Amino acid sequence: MRKSIRLFLLLLLIAPLSCSEKPEKAPSPGKKIIVGYVPGFRGVLDQLSIDASKLTHINYAFVNVKDSMAWLTNMETDTVNFRILNQLKEVNPELKILISIGGWTWSGNFSDAVLTPESRSKFAKTSVEIVADYELDGVDIDWEYPGQIGDNNVFRPEDRQNYTLMFEALRKELDELSEKTGRYYELTTAVGANDKYIEHTEMDRAVKYLDYVNLMTYDFYTSGDTAGHHSNLYPPEDYDRDNSAHKSVRLFLEAGVPAEKLVMGVPFYGRSWIMKSADKHGINMPVADRARGGGYTYIKDSMVNKKGFVRYWDEKAQAPYLFNSETNQLLTYDDEESVRLKCEYVIDNNMAGMMFWQYASDPKEYLLDAMNAYFK
């Protein structure tokens, strides 16, 4: 009898995990993630332009929402792009590739898609089918916005609860896929980094189903009568708005999201305006018109201290900006110095890491290199 028991215990120790056992998510302790949004809507990707060794995650933007389903609107190029992205795992086997559903343009039908148990189930199943069919690593939801207006999207009060129920349904489908494959699949979301987003969601409940929450800590100024920093780390002085990355982090911590699930967003592009005067180098001053901002590679190579533009540094906001006193053009953006300070903030506040929108805006990888230099 004792021999039989010993033999049974030995078999338990050496037996491989069965497919029915839930695989564990196993991130390296203390390792910070770097999530890059890669734009599939531009067409077929250039594999050589993406350095997988500098990323932990790629979020493929975007998958549409149509008839309560996750929908590959650009299937011909999307399927090619999935194959290209999976080939990057030859360079970085630990790379995670997620589909990002929605975005500014394709969030119009989220509210309808998650309105009923039947529609939520349909949406979750079709989302995870894409993950399974193309051997991807999870789902990212970029709903802009639950319970409030975005780009002509449907929205309703019920979005607040249905937002949580959507993630519950997605997590259920991903876990069922895990049982079949023995792999863990991630579920993340990109969120508006302000109090209105929190008011229209149940972040303390939704976060139970999520691996990471990507804070879109940028676009603090896009339109309006005045202009200022669009991605500052801290609030500036004498500002008509107190938006900042720091404020966003505090808001989501207070809403119940653990720091270790929070990811700080960085724009790889600038926002620009023509100001009515040169007062205060344009910061928090009246706007005459909008102007082209451009991606960071263009900004650094062609604008910083060139063509009449002078770089300034806002010590209070911990943010750079350019101003051209001849044309009264203001440009706000992130550079290597501000990214380094944000990396320090992420580490000091025990956050999960950083994400950026989007890869094609900085093809020379100036800002991505700054992140890697600090995190590795």
Ordered domains of the chain (ranges, CATH): 27-267+334-375 (3.20.20.80)
pLDDT tens sequence across 246-268: 999 999 999 999 999 999 999 99
The 3 state secondary structure assigned to the chain is: CHHHHHHHHHHHHHCCCCCCCCCCCCCCCCCCEEEEEEEHHHCCCCHHHCCHHHCCEEEEEEEEEECCEEECCCHHHHHHHHHHHHHHHHCCCCCEEEEEEECCCCCCCHHHHCCCHHHHHHHHHHHHHHHHHCCCCEEEEECCCCCCCCCCCCCCCCHHHHHHHHHHHHHHHHHHHHHHHCCCCEEEEEEECCHHHHHCCCHHHHHHHCCEEEEECCCCCCCCCEECCCCCCCCCCCCCCCCCHHHHHHHHHHCCCCHHHEEEEEECECEEEEECCCHHHHCCEEEEEEECCCEHHHHHHHCCCCCCEEEEEECCCCEEEEEECCCCEEEECCCHHHHHHHHHHHHHCCCCEEEEECHHHCCCCHHHHHHHHHHC
Q: Which of 90, 94, 144, 326 is catalytic?
A: 144
pLDDT above 70 covers a percentage of the chain that reads: 91
**pTM for this entry:** 0.92
Is residue 144 annotated as part of the catalytic site, yes or no?
Answer: yes
pLDDT at residue number 223: 85
Average pLDDT over residues 57-85: 97
Give the model's confidence band at 23: pLDDT under 50 very low, under 70 low, under 90 confident, else very high.
low
Decide which of 8 and 186 is more confident.
186
pLDDT at residue number 237: 79
